[in-house]
Structure 1
């Protein structure tokens, strides 16, 4: 491998680059990438310009792309809920709290996406909701905006918040909203979105997740918590330690609900729903969101949601967007390394996410590419929390524009300018494939997904071919035998 050729395309390494080898650069060692922020602002206090610049920095956030308007043509189907309702045509129609509307403008949101147009009026009307929409279609805002607006409206009437004044302490945090999600990375992302929507308001979000010190998280909880964002295991830990009480929860959200259950958290979720102090009455407003909905999720919805709950489908369940150009190439296992290197050198340099099936493979491939002078980093569940946060930050800001990751990065992550996803190891489940390639082509932007296929992937071939046909993608010759099966 010619070092000059790699560096000509991807740029030379600098002391500012982050990698697990050697000493951390100054930007990585000075402080954690993710830290607690005291951003509570009293009512109409003057804006915090430094915080405002941090929250609404466009550099790290995905903006609507050229084909964003095409999302409005996606088929929408609904079962249950009200006899009729009026989908939104603008955010102003939603009757959000004025502070929420101001922050929507700060985020430069213009037109709501199909899931937002349909989910928001249903949630503002109080209906329990099971919603399925494509990756990158705006599901996070679809549940955050109604929940936060309702909390803010209530606080405006009562002039109270769970935020503690100086010198005050609480034995337990008593959030009004609980958002449960499968991964730390998704939790950090939703926490940041919550801070953006609640800027200059008394609403205080707190994020808790495994892999970080419980002591620091308890300190945050003790200062008050209106919105609790939590991974299942850490939520149970906090409840058992007496740091969290759920008796005041009015809004319960399961985000990436299928992944939560698939990861083995179903018993934990049922304990929260059945054996905790969570209110189990008409006052609890429950919502579940994901890009795919297996039977287990639908069964949980029937078991725990109100009888008149609404089922909302945006597009085909398990489908994906035509904005992603999907290429499937046949590559034997022993040729994958060389093929990947050729691929990286044949495409214009761009933020590239490479999926592998094991943690060991992620480390190995990271070593291979790094030793060939590619600016890469790896991410998987065995990394420390600090390393995971640094890896994502390095990827987001372009210090390490090539990220090798396991399935931990397949869900929910919304990173700007991920133009290429590579399935180095093709997964066995088509839903997982949909989530993986959904890390590109967000919000109407174009993207490319390249998948390495060989005979080991035979079981997923019929479903993969069907998806290619549905998305009007080219079907390679070696998959043509499955086209007739999907006709």
Structure 2
């Protein structure tokens, strides 16, 4: 807040659940109210352009909705009006249908790009541009749109404008964007970046691909997830790599009596919002999803994160773990590790991270690192403990009657 009030550009890296939306809305709203209404020149165009005083750009419809709700909360009973544009409907129909003047615009990057194309928006009076989740946009292939938005904004009254970029990770592309478009900016990190806190217990468990489903059910059974009376205290996120596996696990767990919901990129915004609502309320304390889909929504700190599919790089691993752990409560992260996937790049960095976080390093990982350093051939299936499931499946391998001590 002091940086925003000082009218400095800002590049901030912050983990989930830190109140970033409020910390930007409050000082921006303060300056809008302090400066009073802006006298705009009357427009004689058939389709006049809009001139917002502040613009929030987010990565997804869910984020746009969340920011809009926060803006509405803080601008209640004031003269400041907010307007939201999302990608579910035609952008210009929404935009032209809003006849009243507004001060704060909240939109997705793709929609904002269209507004620039249609010459429907002007930056003449805009003094604040906030880009939320810029790392998600870059990973989602929106680099061109983001650069265009920043370029159009920074060229208009550079001495009076303020640009604020928010990210949860620290890729090199973001550093380039900051140096290219920010002027005299403050570089701020809140907590650890790309390194899990010490209040997250990390368990790397060797599980063969054919035993993953059985092992997942055994973990949920041991945690007592079927008892949804304590759902909000047992929130569990399951990260899966492929959309088809998300659907398959959703069906499997529902058939076995677990209150579960799921989310991925092919679901509609209504379906995604309903899934998030069911999860956050505790009605469905288990959510299965792809990393990209889960990153597009704001979730509370959960009790347990399960990496059903191990990510290929350490950055994605760190992002998954960022959803659990709290200063007042220890979180748990369980990762299913199998050498069927090419994880040779991840393993050394993962071992270093476990050591840095003072976590137990499994023997299977240490052996892989040692064999790699000595240029020895990595053991194959049948010779490695990685392919041996810690729990022997029973029956058809889909449902277990035994429990595990992995989360004890």
TM-score by length of 1: 0.67
Please say if 1:234 is aligned against 2:111: yes
Of residues 211, 215, 218 in structure 2, which corresponds to 1:339? 215
Q: Report what 1:139 is aligned to.
A: 20
- Measured in 2, the distance between the counterparts of 1:481 and 1:315 equals 32
Change (3 A) 1:128 1:425: same
Of residues 466, 477, 485 in structure 1, which corresponds to 2:363? 477
Q: Report what 1:70 is aligned to.
A: none
Which runs of 5 or more structure 2 residues have no equivalent in the other structure?
41-45, 226-233, 374-408
Change (3 A) 1:124 1:445: farther
Which runs of 5 or more structure 1 residues have no equivalent in the other structure?
1-119, 163-168
Q: CA deviation at 1:134?
A: 3.3
Please say if 1:466 is aligned against 2:352: yes
Q: CA deviation at 1:268?
A: 0.8
Q: CA deviation at 1:366?
A: 1.0
Q: CA deviation at 1:220?
A: 6.5
Q: Report what 1:224 is aligned to.
A: 101
Q: CA deviation at 1:481?
A: 4.7
Q: Report what 1:151 is aligned to.
A: 32
Q: Report what 1:245 is aligned to.
A: 122
- Measured in 1, the distance between the counterparts of 2:98 and 2:21 equals 23
Change (3 A) 1:277 1:127: closer
Could you tell me whether the CA contact under 8 Å between 2:303 and 2:332 is conserved in 1? yes
Q: CA RMSD in A?
A: 2.8
Of residues 288, 301, 304 in structure 2, which corresponds to 1:420? 304
Change (3 A) 1:403 1:223: farther
Could you tell me whether the CA contact under 8 Å between 1:136 and 1:443 is conserved in 2? no
- Measured in 2, the distance between the counterparts of 1:378 and 1:226 equals 36
Q: Report what 1:313 is aligned to.
A: 189
Change (3 A) 1:244 1:400: farther
Please say if 1:122 is aligned against 2:3: yes
Aligned residue pairs, count: 357
- Measured in 2, the distance between the counterparts of 1:443 and 1:197 equals 27
Q: Report what 1:326 is aligned to.
A: 202
- Measured in 2, the distance between the counterparts of 1:135 and 1:260 equals 16
Q: CA deviation at 1:336?
A: 0.8
SS of 2:246 mapped into structure 1: helix
Give CA deviations for 1:180-209 in whole Å, capped at 9, x if unaligned. Answer: 222222222222222233333222222222
Give CA deviations for 1:250-273 in whole Å, capped at 9, x if unaligned. Answer: 111122222222222111112222
Change (3 A) 1:483 1:229: farther
Q: Report what 1:16 is aligned to.
A: none
Equivalent residue runs for 1:22-421 within 5 Å: 120-155=1-36, 158=37, 171-214=48-91, 217-218=94-95, 221-275=98-152, 279-306=156-183, 308-349=184-225, 350-411=234-295, 413-416=297-300, 418-421=302-305
- Measured in 1, the distance between the counterparts of 2:295 and 2:244 equals 20
